[in-house]
Amino acid sequence: MMIMKDVVDEIKILASQYDEVIPAGIDFDSSIYDYDFEAKIGTAPRSFWEQYREFVELLDGFDIDGFYIFGLKNHFGYENNIFHFNKKNSEIAKDAPALTFDEYQYCILFGGSSLDIYTYDVRTNKWESRDRFQYDNLFISCNTLTEFLIALTSEIQG
């Protein structure tokens, strides 16, 4: 069974193969446990943050060949953190509800690709890859972030 450090090492190898620059790990501020994602999520389950913390302390997100996972901080001169994208999603749901799926209100967006979005569903505690345009189409569904990243690295390697 792979542990997060092994998966991150694999991601770093993939990044170097694609000549991608990836951010280093960061210090996790424990006040983030209380962050309010709004919508029907509110404060994320502690298990979400514990798994995400393990990841961002090793690697604060990545973008490899169009597959990306948000970090906690902005990198490379643009807003690419988990808070920014979830705030935008909440704003769209409030201002133009017809443009979003009701299911989004229960999901934390943590990354994506050109065709998929990566979500953590607070109702099921699943880490998932969903079709960006047909939300009910599920491509990956995992119990842990580590399992999800293993599946995603396989997809990147294609």
DSSP-derived secondary structure for 76-132: TTB--BHHHHHHHHHHHHHH-GGGS-GGGGGEEEEEE-SSEEEEEETTTTEEEEEES
Structure tokens, 59: 């690697």
How much is the pLDDT for 92?
A: 62
* Predicted local distance difference test score (pLDDT) of residue 136: 64
Mean pLDDT split into 10-residue runs, the chain, 158 residues: 91 96 95 91 94 98 95 85 81 61 81 93 95 71 97 92
pLDDT digits (tens, 9 = 90+) for 57-93: 999 999 999 999 999 998 877 787 999 878 876 666 6
Radius of gyration of the chain (CA): 15
- How high is the pLDDT of residue 144? 97
pLDDT of the residue at 59 = 97
d(C-alpha 107, C-alpha 131), whole Å: 14
**What token pair was written down for 134?**
């047909």
